[in-house]
Amino acid sequence: MKMERALAKFICETKFEDLPKETISTVRLQCVALFGATIAATNAAGCAEVAGYVRSLGGNEEATVLMHGGKVPAQMAAFANAVMGRAHDIDDHISPGIHIGAAVIPAALATAELIGGCTGKEFITAIAIGTEIALRLNLKDTDFDGFDPTGILAVYSSAAAASKLMKLDEEQTLNALALAYNRSGGSYQSNADGSLAVRIIEGWVSQMGIECARLAKIGINGPHNFLEGVYSYFHLYAKEKLDRSYVAHDLGKKWHVSNLNFKKYPCCGLNQGSTQLIMDMMAQHAFAAEDVEKIEIRLPPFSYKLVGKFELGNNPKVNAQFSVGYCVANAVVKREITLVQFEAGEIEKPEVRDFLAKHVEVIDDPGLVRGHYSSDIAVKLKNGTEFKGGIDIPPGTPAYPMTEEEHRKRFYDCVAFSGLKWFGDEKRDLLFAALQKIEELENVTKIIPMFLP
C-alpha cells in the first residue's frame, strides 16, 4: 500500500508554492479552455436537458449549474457542468484520449461552492494535483484496449481535487481514491457509435469524484491496495505487464501537467494532426475542393478503429467529431474550421458529406507506427498532380503549442458561438482577464455569477 499512501500524502501536503511555473500556466490554460467550452455548449445537444434533469431532482442547494442557473447538490452540479465542458470536444486532453480538465475543474468549482469558497491559489493547486495523479496513472491505448481512458482515470482527478479542497486528512483522502477505483468505467464504443454518452461519461467522473470524497469524509473506506493489490488497477488494465513504481517516482518533485494537449480544432484529438496537415498542404500547393480527384488518409490501427469511419447517425455532431475523413473533407471544402461547421444542421447538409463519399478514403495502416497521433495523407488532383505529407505531432501539443493569441481567440470564438445575448463583450473580457490571473482571486466562486444571465 506504499504507492497508494504516497498519492494520498501528496494530495494532502502539496501547496501552491510547490507548483512549478509551467504547471500553474498550464492550469490557467485548462481553465480558459474548459470555461470557454462550457459557454459554447450552453445549448449543445443534451446539455440543457441534463441541466433540467439535475434541477428536477431537487436536494440541497450547494453548487451552481453554470449557464442555466439553479443550485443543486455539489456532485450533480459537477455532473451537469462537466457534460457541457466536454460537449464540443475542445477541452484539454492527452494520449490515448483522457480528458482531465472537463472533469476536474467542474468538480473543483462545485466543491469550492460546497465548502463556502476557496482562494484562486487553492483552486489551482487542487486542479494541478488532480491532473498530475491522472497523468501518472495513464497507460497506453493497448493497455486500455477499448476502455475509455477518461472514464477510467478522470475520476481520480476529481476525487483528488475534491479531497484537497475539503481538507480531508491522509486516511480519508486514501479512501476517496480507493472508492474512486470502484467508479472507473466507460468504453470507447460510445465514441465509435457517435453517442452522447461520450459527454455523459465526463459528467459521471466529475460527479463521482465529489461523491467519493464526501463518502470518505464520513468514514466510508475503499480497497486501499487499489494499485498494488492482486486485483488492482494494473491487473485490470495492464494485465500485470508494467512496472508500476513510476507512479510515485519523484512525486511532488517532477510534474507532468505541462504535457497536456489543447485543441486547435473542435474535434477528437486524433483528428487534430490530419486536419492541420491537410490545411498546410492546401496552403503549400494552392488547391481547392474542385481540384481534388482523391485523398487517402492513412492511420495507425488504434486511430482507425476510433475515427476511421463516418456514418450519419442520431448525433451528427459526435459522428463528425470522431471521423477523420469528415474533418479532412470539411477542411478542404470550407477551407477553415469553426465550431459552427460541426453543428448538426451543417453536417446534415450534403456538401461535405458528398465530397467525403466521392473523394476521401481512410486506410487502416498497421505499418504506420511512428506515434499515436501520426497520419499520412496523399492527394491526387484531377490534373494528375500528386503530393504526399505526414504528421506525427499535432497542434496544441507541448512540441507544437498553440500561441497565447490562439488560446484567446478560441475562448472568444466560444463566447461568440454561444449566441447568448446576455453574455456580452464586457462580461467576456472580464471573465477572460480573471482566468488569466485566477490564482490572484480571493474567492474563486466570485466568477460564478459571470456564467449566469
pLDDT digits (tens, 9 = 90+) for 383-418: 999 999 999 999 999 999 999 999 999 999 999 999
Domain ranges (residues) in the chain: 2-263+413-451, 269-391
Nearest to 14 by CA among 254, 179, 213: 254
Q: Cell triple for residue 11? A: 494530495
- What fold, for 269-391? 60s Ribosomal Protein L30; Chain: A; (3.30.1330)
Contacts of 268 (CB under 8 A, 6+ apart): 89, 97, 191, 306, 307, 321, 322, 324
Q: Residue 137 has what pLDDT?
A: 96
Q: May I ask the CATH class of domain 2-263+413-451?
A: mainly alpha
pTM (two decimals): 0.93
Q: Residue 1 has what pLDDT?
A: 59
Collect contacts of 338-345 with beta carbons under 8 A, ≥24 apart: 338/266, 338/413, 338/417, 339/40, 339/88, 339/90, 339/266, 339/413, 339/414, 339/417, 340/417, 342/88, 342/266, 342/267, 342/317, 343/317, 344/45, 344/315, 344/316, 344/317
Phi-psi region of 422 (alpha: psi -120 to 50; beta: other; left: phi over 0): alpha
Which residues of the chain are under the pLDDT cut of 50?
none
Neighbours of 56 (CB within 10 A): 9
Contact 247, 235 (CB under 8 A): no
Q: Residue 372 has what pLDDT?
A: 82
Q: Residue 267 has what pLDDT?
A: 92
Q: Residue 371 has what pLDDT?
A: 86
